Structure 1
Amino acid sequence: MKNTTSYSCKENSICVDSENGYRCRCEEGFQGNPYLSNGCQDIDECITMSPCNMTCHNFDGGYNCSCPSGYKGDGKKDGSGCFQEVKSNKELIIEIALGISIGLLVLFILTFSLCWVHKQRRVKQFREKCFMQNGGPLLQERLSELQRQCERTRIFTEVELTKATNNFHESRILGRGGQGIVYKGILPNNQVVAIKRSRIVEDQRQVKDFINEVDVLSQINNRNVVKLLGCCLETEAPLLVYEFVSNGNLFDRIDPTKNAPSLPWETRLSIAVEIAEAVSYLHSAASVPIIHRDIKSSNILLDKNDKAKVSDFGASRLVPLDQTQVFTLVQGTPGYLDPEYLQTGKLNEKSDVYSFGVVLIELLTGKKAIQLFCPEQDNTLVVHFVSSMEEGNLMELLDRRVLNQSNVEQIMEVASLARKCVRLFGEERPTMNEVAMELKGLIAMQKQQTGKGEVKSEEYRYLLGHLANVTGNSSSYDSTQNQIAFQIEDGR
């Protein structure tokens, strides 16, 4: 065969030897005149020959055959042709399993999506139901009316408070009580708050009381009452949001078994004044009188400067302006409960006075309201305190961490006042306003003594008599003062 470039054979042709020398002919798959330019043209075998059993694909100089999906072979009529593929059992099992898996996955995704949508719809309906059940529309109306008079109390969403408390994680719990659990929360603006999850409102008659409580507390502007910032009504149990008070509660600061540093007497007396003024404010200065009903040292919070703030109004009751008392189921903390209220169910302002008297005794003694280590007939701090005063043994009960020669007279005056607050019958107790006045008078006298030297005996007796006239005689003080003074002198 000759090289086509040396002879006159054109494209798609070859030169072959012959008897007369050489000649040209078209390459296989082409036909035409090999001596002319483009004289050899492709033969479309798929049309002229139909060589394939199934599908024929023509190309310059040739063709090929193919079988459709699911078939095997070369596809040629004169070859193996096309025959249906027979899969092995293993391949069939794999394909079936894959098909089932894909089907189940699609079904799962569809079912999950439907369930999620249904759940979201139910959650929304539940929140709306709780909002209506907890008096949401009425509360919104009340707060809207108050908007021009005071800073508006905010209504939070469940999502906000859940996020603020890390889904109400146990590490965020600040305290537990009969009315609910208090959590530490951090709002998106980094404001630290206390979030109280109240007990579930089971009686619809309680809804109005709850709304009235939030209504009144949103108007309270007293530096010694924990401020209510808002609430959430989307949950089955209402959530209340209060300002966060950083220095713990009074109970932990006066209990000698705790690790917290003890409070000096001057600070304890100042705290007593602040509590008394706050409760007096609730009784007489609030738009609707409020009976706290659960005054105790663990409900007295202290800020960074050890200033007192009364908290936990979950058990509080509103008293109509035309009434002096309300009948209610007995509720409160053992050891602080007014015995008269406990027996009759009649709740009035003097019930708070009794509870405050117990806190005052705790400040004096550093002991708990319930003394489990005492004999059965003397298991409450009040009973122990009263009997000690009557027997002249009060010195043994007082907190030695605060008692000294310079404050003994003042401490005895406070002890006498505490005795008046815990009298059995409410009508014999002073009002909270009178209690606050007497405590402030004691502080004023102490400042006078410190600033101008020792007050003369006649002047001191006159001042004591003046204070005694406010809340009744203080004969119990006189008999006990000599006993304490003697024991202090004897101990030097």
Structure 2
Amino acid sequence: MNEVTILTRLRHRNLVSLYGCTSRRCRELLLVYEYIPNGTLSCHLHGEIGIVVYSSMADKNQDSHRTASALAYLHACDTIHRDVKTNNILLENDCCVKVADFGLSRLFPNDVTHVSTAPQGTPGYVDPEYYHCYQLTNKSDVYSFGVVLIELISSLPAVDITRGKDEINLADLAMNKIQNSAFKELVDPCLGFESDSEVRRMIVSVAELAFQCLQRDKELRPSMDEVLQILRRIESGEEEDNHVEEVEIHGGVNGISCSGPIFPSSPPSPDSDESILLKTTKSLPPATKARHS
């Protein structure tokens, strides 16, 4: 019923379409969606079930742009997806993106600061501030999308227990690599980072955007609409190129600092998914973007 309530309000070319559902009197409650034939983004990135992997960074960037467009639309419609991940990004035969699975989604009125609710989502993608504070905001989707961006440039899974304990979560691995100037260790070597300057420009720009999305303090993250605008500039080549010169083939992105976790000392601990809507009493500070020295 949650999915029906949300999806009947929405129409976007990069959201999976709900065609209908069975009535409440039926023995089985079923939702009928459009058929998306070409698997999930996760399958394409990680080579599951024999699906061919992406052939270029340009294709990956185009799909990240389309996904961001869908999420920005959701936020404009007062909806938080709450389970953004590569398994919920479906691909059509022409590789057009369709964001799916709204079972955990929540309506989010524009006159509230957050919804207090028990954390839900997929390990590796869950906003750490939401996890610790029980406060869901649209910036929680931004964090999850940041993990998706890192998956796109690294081709690594969001969670891998065979990695070191500080790098099991891909978000932690990415932040460590960027901060320690080990950028090359993060990038999928098949993308041509060392040999193609245009690919390098796109990867560096996407990594910088992901770095902003993965800030632990939600106020330091951009909005989804800002993310979409940045991805459009990256795709068109209109963003400033001077930062590309600062990246060494064997180094990282210089001049970026990372904020540590900022959590209240006593977060609420609701035992249900009932929302508590807190009215906005003052304007929130704008998102602070990472800058280059």
The two structures have a TM-score, normalised by structure 1, of 0.48
Q: Determine whether 1:265 maps to 2:57.
A: yes
Q: Is the Cα–Cα contact under 8 Å of residues 231 and 239 in structure 1 kept in the other structure?
A: yes
- Residue ranges of structure 1 left out of the alignment (5+ in a row): 1-209, 447-459, 466-473, 487-492
**Partner of residue 68, structure 2:** 276
Question: Where does residue 388 of structure 1 map in the other structure?
Answer: 177
> Partners in 1 of 2:26 and 2:118 — Cα distance?
25
SS at match of 1:376: coil
Work out which of the residue numbers 213, 231, 248 in structure 2 matches 1:482: 248
Distance 1:464 1:381 in 2: 27
- Runs (4 or more) in structure 1 with deviation over 6 Å come to none
- The aligned amino acid for 1:352 is D
Matches of 1:478 and 1:391, distance apart in 2: 18
Tell me, in whole angstroms, the C-alpha distance in 1 between the residues paired with 2:70 and 2:18. 15
Query: Which has the higher Rg, Structure 1 or Structure 2?
Result: 1
Match of 1:439 in 2: 231
> Partner of 1:362 in structure 2?
151
Name the structure with the higher strand share: 1
Question: Structure 1 residues 337, 236: closer, same or farther in 2, change over 3 A?
Answer: farther
Tell me by how many angstroms 1:321 deviates. Answer: 3.6
Please say if residues 324 and 348 of structure 1, whose CA atoms lie closer than 8 Å, have aligned partners that are also in contact: yes
C-alpha distance in 2 between matches for 1:394 and 1:281: 32
Partner deviation per Cα, 1:241-267 (whole Å, 9 max, x = no partner): 111111000000011465211112111
What CA deviation, in whole Å up to 9, does each residue of 1:153-190 have, x standing for no partner? xxxxxxxxxxxxxxxxxxxxxxxxxxxxxxxxxxxxxx
For residues 256-304 of structure 1, the C-alpha deviation after alignment (integer angstroms, 9 at most, x for no partner) is 46521111211100000000010000001x2xx1100000000000001
1:429 to 1:464, Cα distance in 2 relative to 1, 3 A: farther
Identity %: 36
C-alpha spacing 1:312/1:434, structure 2 compared with 1 (3 Å): same
Q: Who is 2:4 aligned against?
A: 214
Change (3 A) 1:378 1:230: same
SS at the partner of 2:149? helix
Of structures 1 and 2, the one scoring higher in RCO (CA 8 A, sep 6+) is 2
In the TM superposition, what whole-angstrom CA distance separates every residue of 1:374-409 from its partner, at most 9, and x where no partner exists? 112221111111111111112122111212423101
* Counterpart position of 1:300: 89
Cα deviation for residue 238 of structure 1 reads 3.7
Q: Does the C-alpha gap of structure 1 residues 237 and 386 become closer, same or farther in structure 2, counting only changes over 3 Å?
A: farther
Q: Is the 8 A contact 2:149 2:210 kept in 1?
A: yes
| RMSD of equivalent CA atoms | 2.1
Correspondence for 1:229 = 19
Distance in 2 (CA, whole Å) between partners of 1:319 and 1:295 is 16
**How far apart, CA to CA, are the structure 2 residues paired with 1:416 and 1:431?**
15
CA distance 1:384–1:413, shift in 2 (3 Å): same
- Match for residue 32 of structure 2 among 224, 229, 241: 241
Query: Any idea what SS the aligned residue of 2:190 has?
Result: coil
The whole-number CA distance in structure 2 between the counterparts of 1:425 and 1:485 is: 26
Distance in 2, matches of 1:484 and 1:256, equals 27
In 2, Cα distance between equivalents of 1:314 and 1:483: 42
**Amino acid of the residue matched to residue 412 of structure 1?**
V
Q: CA separation in 2, counterparts of 1:236 and 1:343? A: 40
1:337 matched to 2:129 = no
**1:8-47 Cα shifts (integer Å, max 9, x gaps):** xxxxxxxxxxxxxxxxxxxxxxxxxxxxxxxxxxxxxxxx
Q: Does the CA contact (< 8 Å) of 2:183 and 2:251 recur in 1?
A: no
In structure 2, C-alpha distance between the alignment counterparts of 1:216 and 1:371, rounded to whole Å: 33
**Structure 1 residues 259 and 326 mapped into 2: Cα distance closer, same or farther (>3 Å)?**
same
C-alpha change, 1:478 and 1:350, in structure 2 (3 Å) is farther
> Unpaired runs of 5+ in structure 2?
253-293
* Change beyond 3 A, Cα 1:361–1:237: farther
The 3 A distance-change label for structure 1 pair 478 and 236 is farther
Give me the whole-angstrom Cα distance separating, in 2, the residues matched to 1:236 and 1:399: 48
1:90-239 alignment runs, 5 A limit: 210=1, 213-232=3-22, 233-234=24-25, 238-239=29-30
Distance 1:226 1:377, change over 3 A: same
2:187 is the counterpart of 1:417: no
What residue number does 2:139 align with? 350
Amino acid at match of 1:279: L
Q: Which residue, 408, 421, 437 being the options, matches 2:200?
A: 408
| Residues 399-457 of structure 1: per-residue CA shift (max 9 Å, x gap) | 112124231011101101001101101110000100010010011117xxxxxxxxxxx
Deviations along 1:54-93, one digit per CA (max 9) or x if unpaired, are xxxxxxxxxxxxxxxxxxxxxxxxxxxxxxxxxxxxxxxx
Matched position secondary structure for 1:378: coil
Map Cα deviations across residues 335-363 of structure 1 (whole Å, 9 max, x no partner): 00000000011001000000000000000
- Which residue pairs with 1:427 in the alignment? 219
Residues of 1 paired with 2:104 and 2:201: CA distance? Answer: 36
1:373 to 162, 176, 189: 162
Q: Which structure shows the bigger proportion of residues in helix conformation?
A: 1
